[in-house]
Structure 1
Amino acid sequence: MKPLIGVTSDIDQNGDILVQTRFIRAVRQAGGVPVILPVGLEAIEEVCDRIDGVLLIGGEDVDPYLYGEEPHRQLGKVLPERDESELALIKRMADQDKPVFGICRGYQLINVAFGGTIYQDIYAQLSEDLLQHHQLTDLDFAFHSIDIVGDSKLAEWAGTSEVRVNSLHHQAVREVHAPLVVTAVAKDGVIEAFESTAHRFVVGVQWHPEAMVKREDPLSLKLFEQFIEAAREKR
């Protein structure tokens, strides 16, 4: 049987559940069966017992209260009920050593779940020499380069030390705590990926591989394939 993958969701301006089709398509293409998890999900433990992996998608900013900070003036919209339910998902799935894959906001929230912090706005809190991290071209096009740390799962999957990725964010991972380790960094020093050294598959990336899958970008495909394979093994 194909592994069952919980896919988190956002809320649109009308209060309706929102999940971009590209996340669903990428899970299916890699061999998983996606199940949409609504914001404010209840019965977290029961849900986690039934799914084989969880994909945390992008969306609004993470509430800085969760990592001990007051809101910066450039902080965007936060959705506390989404933060709460997704943090519970991350912790429960990690405790069961079930695969957790975070993209953009999902990646940042995994970092918070493991005690890390976030830059609330990289343009206000980091150097003026930053790259542009909010591309205006379509997300299925690679936009800037990242350097991949050797001796990591990401390096193994990429088969190279440098790749180009897309970019659509104004927040970024700041401090990373064990068991998470940094596995990729942009040319300006922004952390672009991490993985856990204590779990089968706890991986986060700042970019949007789900948008590059349709162009058959090798690393994007590999990320989803490895995620689904880890879920299949756990099943």
Structure 2
Amino acid sequence: MKRRSLLSIVLIFTLISAYAQKKPIIGVSSVATESSASAPLTYINSIKRAGGVPLVIPMTSDKEELTRVLEVIDGLVMTGGEDIDPLKWFNEEPVRAMGGIAPKRDEFDITLIRMAVEKGLPVLGICRGEQAMNVAFGGTLYQDIPSQVEGTFVKHSQNAPSSYGTHTIDIDKNSKLYKILGRESVVVNSFHHQAVKDIAKGFKISARAKDGVVEAIEKEGDQFVVGVQFHPEGFVSKGDDTFLPLFRALTEASK
């Protein structure tokens, strides 16, 4: 009887282990202060809803540490945040309207993206994460849309909750993003004043706002390396499934 009970326990733990192994571990780039390294719960909850196991990555530029991290995770989400230093990363003098920068985070994000892509991991860049993705491979940014993009008319920094869409984007039918979402147009949220200007070599633009501002990019080829300017996690974490397929595509590519 004891032997049967022991076998039952072993079987249960084996099944639990097998189930857990099917869930890919998705690294999440962190925001660091002097006392903490963290990521917003909107990203964490969206990854969970898509069947992934989120793992927040503490900020570091030590390549040996990042190599060990990349051995553990199966996919990567690059989160939003501060402006990227234009002088260091794409050789432009800062304009007066540029926002706050985070030099240590720039180093961390760009190093992490380059190493993850080189390793062949699926990567989803969100807002700053998309911009860092473009800069990491030689692209440039508009430092401030209102003062640098002629003819723009869309409000790209909304005064509404992140779970509420405020403008429309048009998606290229020959893109990974279209295959994932299955639509040519969708309403998104918007919390940025910087945007992709010159696209990085090996990447293509997959979506634009109605005023032409870039809203999504992706690496050419089969590897899942997709960046979006909007915040899909703002919708998904609140139960809106419009962009859940984007996180599911990441977790599927990470299995």
TM-score tier (shorter): over 0.9
Matched residue, 1:4: 25
Give the RMSD, CA atoms, in angstroms: 1.5
Offset of residue 130 of structure 1: 2.3
Matched residue, 1:24: 44
Which amino acid in structure 1 is aligned with residue 99 of structure 2?
G
Counterpart-to-counterpart distance in 1, 2:128 and 2:225: 15
Q: CA-to-partner distance for each residue in 1:99-121, whole Å, 9 max, x for gaps?
A: 11100000000000111000111
Paired residues of 1:157 and 1:219 also in contact (CA < 8 A): no
Question: Quick check: which has more Rg, 1 or 2?
Answer: 2
Is 1:127 matched up with 2:142? no
Counterpart-to-counterpart distance in 2, 1:84 and 1:199: 27
Q: CA-to-partner distance for each residue in 1:53-90, whole Å, 9 max, x for gaps?
A: 11100011111120111111111111111111111111
Paired residues of 2:152 and 2:212 also in contact (CA < 8 A): no
Matched residue, 1:159: 182
User: Structure 2: where are the runs of 5+ without partners?
Assistant: 1-20
User: Structure 1: where are the runs of 5+ without partners?
Assistant: none
Counterparts in 2 of 1:62 and 1:6: CA distance versus 1, 3 Å: same
- What percent identity do the matched residue pairs reach? 42
**Which of 41, 55, 58 is matched with 2:80 structurally?**
58
Paired residues of 1:158 and 1:218 also in contact (CA < 8 A): no
Offset of residue 179 of structure 1: 1.5
Extract structure 1 runs of 4+ deviating beyond 6 A.
none
In the superposition, the TM-score normalised over structure 1's length comes to 0.93
Paired residues for 1:84-233 under 5 Å: 84-127=107-150, 129-232=152-255
Which amino acid in structure 2 is aligned with residue 24 of structure 1?
I
Counterparts in 2 of 1:220 and 1:179: CA distance versus 1, 3 Å: same
Structure with greater helix share of residues: 2
Counterpart-to-counterpart distance in 2, 1:156 and 1:216: 22
